[in-house]
Copies of this chain bind each other. A is one copy, B any other.
Amino acid sequence: MKTISSRDNAQYKEYKHLATSSQARRKAGLTLLDGVHLCQAWLDLRGLPEQCIVSETALKNPEVAEIVGKIEHQRAHCIAMPDALYNAISQVEHGVGVMFVVPTPERAVPDALAVSAVLLDNVQDPGNVGSILRSAAAAGIKQVFCSGGTAFCWSPKVLRAAMGAHFVLDIFENVDLAALMAKAKVPTLATSGYATKRLYEMDLRRPVAWVFGHEGQGVADDLLSLATQTVVIPHLGQVESLNVAACAAVCFFEQVRQNQS
């Protein structure tokens, strides 16, 4: 295992850059997975990381030692560093002290929507995007397409909220959602508070593509008009709408329910 002990180390500076700049992450095509859960999920679902960074204290943690053991056994790179250096690149408060450097997959957008999918139009909040990815994965959906304005999926906050869902999904970013919807081979269903068709009236026993929009403004008008159908989740209360991640969960699991019954 290699050790870094100085803030002036060139590799350390690179990590710090990755940790603090989303532009640096995009440019390098790399991101950081922080914490035992995400690292373990990567090992289980995707294999070895490019690098594994551990704090000196974390080396004594049995869960971390197990992760390091697996990686070194396969001759991948582990880098240890003093806690102070580790904490300066970690974005998790009171974290355990283990981090993976992993590639952020760049995939070519499929020719046409042909399986169950999620389209995110300008969803801003990283916590919401992460929760939607997590619910989609739990509901067995495989593809996620994000507009340019949607929060960057491979940012630390989205990764943390999604709890490993990234590793079982095919995520496409900066996608022209209008073009994708125009040539879809499955029905595209956009949620809207103004729709008249209720979610529970839809036949969801087939692949569909769900379209969710901005936290305040909802799905953009051009996408609403391209959708096969706009649907509403019926509300009983005086409150105006659901959080977008709650709305997505309700839609995905209504689809699960119909397919199981």
Contact = CB atoms under 8 A, between A and B. Distances in A.
Nearest to A130: B243
Given A138-B239, A234-B260, A131 B245 contact: yes
Contacts of A200: 257, 260-261
Interface residues of A, number: 40
Interface string A165-197: 100100000000000000000000000000000
A257 B247 CA distance: 14
Q: How many copies does the complex hold?
A: 2
Interface in A57-98: none
A49 interface: no
A246 to B, nearest CB: 4
Per DSSP, chain A at the interface is helix
A55 to B, nearest CB: 21
A98 to B, nearest CB: 17
Given A245-B246, A257-B254, A260-B200, A168 B138 contact: no
Contacts of A233: 138, 253
B257 A134 contact: no
Nearest to A200: B257
5 contacts: A131-B246, A140-B235, A164-B240, A245-B246, A254-B257
